[in-house]
Amino acid sequence: MDWRIPLGAIDFGVEEEAAVLDVLRSRWLTMGGVTQAFESEFAASVGARHAIAVSNATAALHLACLACGLGAGDEVIVPSLSFVATANAVRYVGATPVFADITSEDDLTLSVESIRRCLTPQTRAIIVMHYGGYACDMTAILSLAQERDLFVIEDAAHADGSILEGRALGTWGQVGCYSFFSNKNMTTGEGGMLVTNDDGLAERLRILRSHGMTSLTWQRHQGHAWSYDVTAVGYNYRIDEIRSAIGRVQLTKLEHFNVQRAQIVNWYNEYLQELAPSLHIPFRSHPGESCHHIFPVLLPVGGDRPSFMEAMKAQRIQTSIHYPPIHTFSAYQGLYPMDGGLPVTEGVSRREVTLPLYPGLTQDEVLFVAQAVQRALHESAND
Ligand SMILES: *Cc1c(COP(=O)(O)O)cnc(C)c1O
């Protein structure tokens, strides 16, 4: 499809190209010095004690669950309005995902009230997801977790560069998991990062990332070790030097990317309010500084979403949905307890459409999208 305005677009320059070439010419491709530099720069950027780079955020979530010791018989509270990896990670370790509802049509992050209703004696952890880069109510969630002695794992895949009360999202709970997939605010193609301030957790995460081995090929190459022990059944969830090199460059651009995204969201708010007042825009006044990963809007109640998205497509504008709720997927249906359902998640997810958002989208393009939305709303209402 030849989109006039795609949902997202990657912003790479000559800097990323040069960084990749440097790695190729160094002839050292697996995890080594470039990855170590990426990890320490990332840790510094979010203010965490440890950062551990991995192959993707799904691997990060899996390792976070393992490192926290979650397993069979444990319940982990998760949002259903998230990417499926948030809940899959819980299933990887044999624990039970328990789906909590979101707060409201203005705040699509986990409802603290709903989390409370999900608590049982088996609850061991909460995985929060900062939808669109907007912060969950971390103060309330952390105090609830402390009260009940629960781990808090942050799925910060949307939150590269988001801040709440001066503190980076992803650094509030015991472990934070970031994604550098192609459509995220900073990218390495595939990639992810774990952060934690806990030395013990960091050590377990490092070991589990690489087969449970006590030394890396890199350390042996450097002469720091010649053998190793295997202290756990680990995985190969390593990143590589090529991706880390791209990540280091992208990290230096992240703040600027996010400033551009914020500007674009301001234009959207202004134009849509004027041209499409029947549309509901969530997160209009939300605590913290979002990195604006996506721009979600809610169609009027009873609106015809497929026709709306078709009408946008006819104008060569790509839209998407975030998300079909996880509990409705075939692989999840009826498997887990869910007293009373998730009315807010279900209501919002039927109406949600995501509009294009990426650094470099111009003011004229935003106006063009807003005008297209106005037409699409009109056409989809007439059908
Ligand atoms: C992208 C994403 C993930 C998975 O990230 P990968 O790096 O692609 O594994 C997990 N959770 C959420 C909310 C995401 O958006």
Tell me, what's the pLDDT at 99? 96
- Which residue, judged by its Cα, is nearest atom 5 of ligand 1? 57
Is 184 designated active site?
yes
267: domain CATH number is 3.90.1150.10
Tell me whether residue 57 is in a domain: yes
Q: Are 66 and 86 contained in the same domain?
A: yes
**Structural domain that includes position 156:** 14-101+108-250
Q: Are 215 and 134 contained in the same domain?
A: yes
What residues does ligand 1 touch, defined as CB less than 6 Å away? 56-58, 82-83, 85-86, 129, 155, 157-158, 179, 181, 192
- Encode pLDDT of 310-323 as tens digits: 999 999 999 999 99
Tell me, what's the pLDDT at 383? 56
Q: Which is the catalytic residue, given 62, 130, 184, 238?
A: 184
Q: Mind spelling out the 3-state secondary structure of the chain?
A: CCCCECCCCCCCCHHHHHHHHHHHHHCCCECCHHHHHHHHHHHHHHCCCEEEEECCHHHHHHHHHHHCCCCCCCEEEEECCCCCHHHHHHHHCCCEEEEECECCCCCCCECHHHHHHHCCCCEEEEEEECHHHCCCCHHHHHHHHHHHCCEEEEECCCCCCCEECCEECCCCCCEEEEECECCCCCCCECCEEEEECCHHHHHHHHHHHECCECCCHHHHHCCCCCCCCECCCCCECCCEHHHHHHHHHHHHHHHHHHHHHHHHHHHHHHHHHHHCCCCECCCCCCCCECCCCCEEEECCCCCCHHHHHHHHHHCCECCECCCCCHHHCCCCCCCCCCCCCCHHHHHHHHHEEEECCCCCCCHHHHHHHHHHHHHHHHHHHHC
Q: Are 213 and 89 contained in the same domain?
A: yes
Which one of 54, 81, 83 would you pick to mutate in the ligand 1 pocket, going by the greatest count of ligand atoms within 8 A of its CB?
83
Tell me whether residue 345 is in a domain: yes
* pTM metric for this prediction: 0.97
- Encode pLDDT of 173-224 as tens digits: 999 999 999 999 999 999 999 999 999 999 999 999 999 998 887 888 888 8
Q: Are 214 and 300 contained in the same domain?
A: no
Q: What is the average pLDDT value for the chain, to the nearest integer?
A: 96
- Which residue, judged by its Cα, is nearest atom 8 of ligand 1? 181
